[in-house]
Structure 1
Amino acid sequence: MQKGLARQVLVASVVVVALTAGAATAVAVTANQLSDSQARLDDLAAAGRVESQLLTGYVDEETGLRGYLLTGGTTFLDPYQQAEAASPALTATLRSRWAAVDGPPDAITALETAHQNWIDYAQGQIALVQSGHVDEARTVAATSEGKELFDSIRQREQTLDSWLSSATSRVADRVGSLQQRLTVLLTATLAALLVLTVAGCVVLWRSVARPLVRLAEATRAVAGGNLSAELPVTGAPEMRSLAGDVTAMRDRLTADLHTTRRSLEALEQTGPAVSALRTALQPAGEHIAGVRIAGRLDPAEGVLAGDWYDTVALSPTRLGLVLGDVAGHGPSSAVFALRLKHSLITALRAGLEPGQALTGVCAELVGVPPGQFATAFVAVLDTERGTVSYANAGHPAGLLLGPLAESVQRPSPAVPIVAPHGPRSWLELPTTGPLLSSIVLGWAWNTATAPFRPGDLLLAYTDGVTETRDGHGTEFGIRGILDTVTAVGAEDGPRLVEAIAAASMRFGGNTARRDDHTVVCLQRTRSRPAVPVLAG
């Protein structure tokens, strides 16, 4: 089953929101990591600057001491003393920076120790010079000791510098990797959004825009008078539903157009007696719980037809249907139709089976001219037993439609058709005797029985529907009815009746109608009873 457009839009929206949220989260996490790495890189650079300043101070101390020892000039002690005074503060700053970058703390301690050892040596040398023992301070041993102590400071400083360089290299590589990841995430997100946007546009075009354009073109054709224009049923389920509603409206307009034309002709049949006949022939529309009734009658001349139908409630669980077609149309045919209608209804109310009712009514046709005859379809629906009993007097075969799963229980043949709400079986209810006429007096009609379960639908019609011909002389026939069932479905009886009437009218084109058209549908509901829907 195809998903509805609203559901597709909802799913696409969820996907877009999820994609955006995921991408935003990934970008935020990456950006936060990049910011942290950049801050760490700055801390490493700051630690390197302090370490460089401290090393410069150590070199100034060593240079000042050497000059003092060589010349004895006290001016050389100024750089030494300044560097010595600044050294504690720089060392404390370096220790703080070093802790911020998670450097090994023993490295700073080792540097401080090495520097303190050299300071102790330097102070001893200065004391010797100041006490007049210059030669002793200038001995090779003393000088070598000072060089070894200062080399120890340089080694400790190189250890710090190597660690800072390695850490800076690692963090710089991570910064580059995070920047690349951030670029990929942004590019991928934009590409995904672009793909979703293009896909959304394609789906909207194929599911909504294009079907809507086609439906609009077909609707304009209908509005221009082409009632046989095909209305495309494509696109999203919502569009197909809209097309189905427009088709139903077109079918109703087509049927009502014929009714309007016949009503204009009825202006010639407006005498009081004719009005009374017309009223008497209207179906009373009695109904029972569990059966939905729909019917439509379109006369060939005016609104006084030779066709007629009615339903009669025989008990709370039994409903009778009578449908007849008198030869000809107009006032004389209507009088004969009214006689047959009331006789058959009276027979059913008296408890006769359909076949017995036809047999009894035919016996009363003594004196009726042979040229005045009728076909009739009489059925009794029993919702308690789940059956339909019928008799057919030369009338077009009725159709019994039901879910395909139940077709194995039906009399053969039960032929499957494909309808919008699933496969269905259909079974013809053929004639069980000749038509009603004074020339067959004494004939006895048989009564046949078929299952009639919840969800089943009984379709009866007159030959004016099936014998409608197109411009090539082809009849609408039972195939036209089944094609309409396939297109519309058998779930909605009233809509099916309107669709069959409209399809037959469109099939006949603009040619004048020669016979009345009648379609009646009795539908066994699955759960709740429905009120009758009568038209015509």
Structure 2
Amino acid sequence: MRLGRRRSGARRRYRSAVAFAVVAAALVAGAVAYGAYRLDQRHSAAMHRLAGPWRIAGTSLAQVRTAADDARVVCLFGDGRGGQPPADILQRLKEGLAGLDRSTSDSGTLSQAAGTLGMDAARWIGATQPGTGFDAVRMCGDQSPPTTSTSSTGAGADPVTYAVVRADAARVDDLLQQQVTADGHLAQRSAAASLLYIVGFCVGLLVLAALGAVLFARRVVLPVAVVAEQLTRAGGPLAAQDPRAPRGWIARLTHAAERARATLEHTQRDARRGNEALTQVGPVVQGLHDVLTACGHPGTGVTIATDLVAAEGLIAGDYLGALAAPDGSTALFLGDVSGHGVAAGLLAVQLKSVVGTALRAGLGPASATRAALHAIAYQEERFTTLVVAVVDPAADTLTYVNAGHEEPFLRRSDGTVDRLEPTGPLIHPALDLDRDAWTVRTVPFGPGELLVLCTDGLVEARDAAGREVGDARVAEALTALRPPVPEAAVTALRTMADGFAIDWQRDDITVVAAARTDKPPRPPGDR
């Protein structure tokens, strides 16, 4: 009961910590989002003023200056009694002052300076009206403006001249440039702050990703590694430690997870194979399996061992056999029908019967191969490879035909391994039935030497890294046999295939091994 209370209290503390972390993260995220919003607002406002009011104010001020200069020209070069500026100049001056007033209405100092400019410009235009008797040179010349206030309206106040209007325009221009510079700096600072915010956000994402990876390793990868170790300790095809295991804890955990997955797949494959066998018709399946795996008895002076593993259930597309020929020699054969499963297995049974019958009748390897070609002639979507070997203990020879099959291995007494290369094409319905397409070859084969026939399912078996068993590994295993007997060869190759069993269901695996025993006496008639 106390243990249960402790666990309940730990769960409550864990939930509280998680809730606090979630709330804190939400508050931080909200603060960051609000800060980003404010930065964006300031930047947008500065850019709006630069692109809107200040640009309009600059254009309007330039229009006021141009109109004032045109009015000054009319004033100076009139008839000497004062010249009224044309209506278009006055209209441009009025529009410029109105645009300047609208665009600067949100800035107190600039708006006040623009208003002063408008009043002084109006008074200057009014003082230069015809009939006022004004001094054109004084009112429209370049003399410096008086030191008294230009906005005075009392009696005796100095009249507003062009120089005063020009000074007012210059002051408005200075204030406008100050506003443009200030908003430009504000926009730059806002852009820099936004960039820093983006960088900080990316850094935060990286930190969250790292924390997520650590949490994933602790919550997922480590438990998988524990499961892998338990499976390894329990024993099985992956129990042996791999000396080439990667370094680094992440790589080791990944490797352990992969080993666990491979072990589970191996177990599931065995269970699936049993289920597939149960779904097939039991007696028929078992009968076909017995026919395909039955090897027969070799002749005197030869010992053999075989092994056949189907890719699906119990029925394979590989077929094998061994029998004593009428002349005292021993005939061996191994074939591989394309595909696997029930259809390939039925054709394999038929081919095994045909090849075995031809050899029992005393026909040679080439005739047995042609018999297989006639049997498969109407199987348009199927083909087969076949190797037929005849061991003659009396003559210490091995006569064979290799119809496109995996090259057999011939281990010599000194440990070297030779290959029996193909002597003709694979057996396919497209071949000419009347053409002799296969050559018969004979090589020495004496006591202490070992012949191994296998299908490509053995040499092409792959491990988790995608590496194949390959011809070199098979040759090394045969060289290492002490003594080189068929049973030891079949066991060694089966163990090797188990180590590369990740993709076992890809193809059937069959091995036939034969060796010479003591040399039998030659019949009297053959001396």
> When the two structures are superposed, what TM-score results if normalisation uses the length of structure 1?
0.46
Q: Point out which structure has higher relative CO (alpha carbons under 8 A, 6+ apart).
A: 1
> When the two structures are superposed, what TM-score results if normalisation uses the length of structure 2?
0.47
